[in-house]
Amino acid sequence: MASIGKRALAAAAVASMAATLAACGGGGGNGDNSNAGDAAKSGSKGGTLYYYINKPVEHVDPQRVYVGRDISNLNRTVYRGLVSFPADTDPDVANKPVPDLATNTGEKNADATQWKFTIKDGVKWQDGKQITCADFKYGASRTFATDVITGGPNYILSYLDLPEGKDGLPSYTGPYTSSAAGKAAFDKAITCSGNTITYNFKKPWPDFPLAVAALHMMDPYRQDKDQGDRSNFQIFSNGPYKLEGAWSKNKGATLVRNDQYDASTDSTEIRKALPDEIVFDIGKSPETIADQLIADGGNDKFAVTGERVPPAYFARLTGAIADRAVNVQSPFVDYVLPNFKKMTNPKVREALAMAANTKGWIDAGGGSRSYAEAKSIVNPSVVGYQANPAFTAPASGDPAAAKKLLQEAGVTTPYPITFTYPKTDTADKQAAALQATWNKAGFKVSLDPQGDTYYDVIQKPSNDADVIWGGWGADWPSAITVTPPLFDSRINLTKNSTGQDYGNYKSDDFNKIVDQAQSATDLSDQTSALQAADEQLGKDYAYIPLESQKFNFLRGSKVTGYNNTPASAMYPDLGPISLEK
């Protein structure tokens, strides 16, 4: 999933491809996330929690949301799934799904090509109607409408047992436009019998419950509430909170208690739902948020944020303020992507990588407190990680070597390129560091910071940027959730969206390796294939890794039960959070 601003569970290993849920491993932090005192004080109901956000939330539709912070926030408040990850800081606990709307964590057949879940009795929508098997089936169907339900996760398109249609996509095209034959195939692939839903896959999916817990793509959705693209900022809740009024993309929203929610059908491992209200306040700059949380007055005492503390504020995090700060290793890797529609010459892409000043990027962003060096788009905490052999340039870049590559490419210099990235004061300084060495190498870089929204812009097929910033973390504890969802053109590139393949990368060789990985029944075979897939991306210079993010967060002094967990992608976890009176 994408990261914010500058998506993703802390990556860990699935102990065995044949094991149902044996997730283990790390991805927590090597910084300070020890909030045992806060956790001990958790448990008081009441009050209003404020969640400060800088840029607009681009999707709250469950099948479209694909940002780590938002996936977690919506899971803890309004959208329950068949299973969910618990709010625990121990990865060995946090990465094992527990039942949510289902009675257990699923039952599979011998080769994991079929999974069954039974929905609990007594679980309701906010209008009091029961959540049914048909609601889950309809929710899954929406993901196949790739021309309408854009921007979200698309794994189910690769796995569900459906005939192939145009451009490598399934023959079923979702609930709005699919043919009768496509709908008939879908009705065989996902079936309902009373409260039991059965998913039939064309290849093994042993970690399917992890995918369900990690994302909202399999969440239930009421057909009578679906308005297609117009549902993007609508919330019809089955969780402990519901939307009061409307969600404003640029200002936020208020969640209040859902009187149809029955806590006896839920688990406090997942969500305690202690505040009476949660206000999502959108539009403040990271600097303003930091100023307010440091001052700790008024409503700011009851506030948390998913915005990182700007590096210029690090020196102020001392004494009592430091007690309200955390520094944790995130699961996200930041990278840049050449646009393959524009940058077609492989030597030019290699020159771009050779001249990339990742050290300057890291230093401008706060140094080692903010980032760790990256040599792959795969986070080092993901099982099977290896440094990509393509990225041999020094951390400060090698403009002279890059200039020779541009000469070998036979292009006219200075070679003009546009670099698109999400604007913050810090990001402007980081982009300038890349710009400087790229210009020395013979590029002519124009910076194109995006202010209000970002993914909406870069996911448009008409986006004509030459170089595009991205950030990603594993969707669930498996390496299969990194390079395939980012670069498999078959599930990403459609007439209305580039999906997660912002750079329009399309490679039959890469896709064949992905097919091998997804068909593997042994973890070691899958890992080998995924390593080969990353090497292919390196040969093509499909991406350039910048760094692995660390999170520096502040919170108000009246916030208790505060933790950053693998389930929340190391953002503040709203599951256990509470407020002092």
DSSP secondary structure of 506-566: --HHHHHHHHHHHH-SSHHHHHHHHHHHHHHHHHHT--EEEEEEEEEEEB-TTEES--B-G
d(CA 517, CA 567): 25
Residue 36's CB is within 10 A of a number of other CB atoms, namely: 9
In degrees and rounded to multiples of 5, residue 247 shows phi and psi of -90, 120
Q: Distance of alpha carbon 124 from its chain centroid, rounded?
A: 27
d(CA 166, CA 168): 6
Burial (CB count <10 Å: 0-12, 13-18, 19+), residue 188: exposed
Residue 389's CB is within 10 A of a number of other CB atoms, namely: 12
**pLDDT reported for residue 500:** 94
Q: Distance of alpha carbon 311 from its chain centroid, rounded?
A: 24
pTM: 0.85
For 573, which DSSP code?
P
Closest CA to 304 of 551, 89, 474: 551
Closest CA to 94 of 44, 32, 21: 21
Closest CA to 554 of 17, 74, 52: 52
Give CA separation, 83 vs 107, 131, 531, in Å: 12, 14, 30
Would you give the end-to-end CA distance of the chain in angstroms? 36
d(CA 146, CA 149): 5
At what angle are helices 399-409 and 346-354 packed, to 10 degrees?
170
Token output for 529? 């294939």
Give me the percent of the chain exceeding a pLDDT of 90: 86
d(CA 111, CA 368): 44
**pLDDT reported for residue 15:** 30
Q: Identify the residue whose tokens are 């949660």.
A: 278
d(CA 341, CA 552): 36
Helix boundaries (H) for 42-127: 68-77, 91-94
For residue 271, the one-letter residue type is R
**pLDDT reported for residue 11:** 31
d(CA 359, CA 434): 9
Q: Could you give the 3-state DSSP secondary structure of residue 47?
A: coil
Tell me the HSE value of 194 on the side-chain side, using a 13 A CA sphere. 6
**pLDDT reported for residue 317:** 97
Closest CA to 556 of 310, 323, 302: 302
The pairing of beta strand 23-24 with beta strand 13-14:
antiparallel
**pLDDT reported for residue 41:** 55
Weakly modelled stretches of the chain, pLDDT under 70: 3-43
**pLDDT reported for residue 476:** 81
Token output for 336? 């840049």
Q: Are 8 and 70 in contact (CB under 8 A)?
A: no
